[in-house]
Amino acid sequence: MTYRKKKTTRRRVIKKKKTPLVSVKRLLSFVLLSLILGISICAVGYVIFFRTVFAQEIPKQQEAEIVFEEPDPPIHDEPIGEQVETEKQSTKKELPKVAIIIDDLGYHKTLGEKFLNFPYELTYSFLPFAPYTAKQEEMAFNSGKTVLLHLPLEPKGQQWDPGPGTLFLSDTPELQRKKFERALKQVPHAVGVNNHMGSLFTGNTKAMMSLLGQFAGKGLFFVDSVTASESVGYSVAQKNGVQSGRRDVFLDNILDEQDICNRLKELVETAKKKGWAIGIAHPHRVSVEAVLACGKLYLNEIQYVSILDVL
């Protein structure tokens, strides 16, 4: 009898020891399943948010597919529209001045930083709402460089997407004002503005009057990218007392190193004729290489300057 009682007691003890082990396993399984469920919900939420919200602020094109400017911008050897060029003659002791603006910055991390570390003086124009704009425009400012807002304006062709924040002719003046203010906040160190696309918008005198009317109180200047021969941007700015200029040569309409070098030579020759010239390039790899390689050929003939030095 004693032996049977001991055995029974022993079995009861063993059962009591197994019970908490089972509970711990169940608890761990529950925690693990809850954790997996939580991570899954977060992942789904992340995807939905970035596809529906953040994607609305960034163009759909991939980095390599971004359309930087409208095709075939005009080459202007004669006055454009109502424009009257203001003569700025360099002194005999000064070399002709060449100001090169790098447009469409903010979408390319590596190429943007290459241009920011360029051995020649450049001016940097940033698109609003681009993923690298905030960081890179801060870098440019801290390096003592001139920063511009590359303001998206409505083009003629609906197939060309200027990107988020574009000002359209169909917008009310109040909406245009709000869009401009938002874009300007995206590039807080901008001291001037040049247009991104805008072949339709810049040809409308009323729209340009309204836009440039906001510049005076902010101390901004305007550079007309001249994406259309009908552009009145420069002439309207001049008539309204806004410090302004217009581009002379697009350097990289054709993405070929030799062609870019030829356009750079044309820019230098223009500067020699009138004392200064304004060129525009974009963050393409071939543009970096061509301007770097061919730019040094003219170091004894011209001086590379900020856009501020030719306005």
pLDDT tens-place string over residues 41-80: 544 444 333 333 333 333 333 343 344 566 566 665 444 4
* pTM, to two decimals: 0.75
pLDDT at 61: 36
Higher local confidence (pLDDT), 20 or 255: 255
pLDDT at 90 over 50: no
pLDDT at 158: 81
Q: What is the 3-state secondary structure (H, E, C) of 47-92?
A: HHHHHHHHHHHCCCCCHHHCCCCCCCCCCCCCCCCCCCCCCCCCCC
Average of per-residue pLDDT across 207-217: 94
pLDDT at 308: 98
pLDDT at 73: 67
**Share above pLDDT 70 across residues of the chain, in percent, rounded to a whole number:** 70
pLDDT at 1: 42
pLDDT at 303: 98
pLDDT at 6 over 70: no
What is the per-residue pLDDT across 136-191, written as a single tens digit (0 to 9) for each?
999 999 999 999 999 999 999 888 889 999 999 999 999 999 999 999 999 999 99
Higher local confidence (pLDDT), 9 or 215: 215
Here the tokens at position 284 are: 């393409």
Higher local confidence (pLDDT), 182 or 21: 182
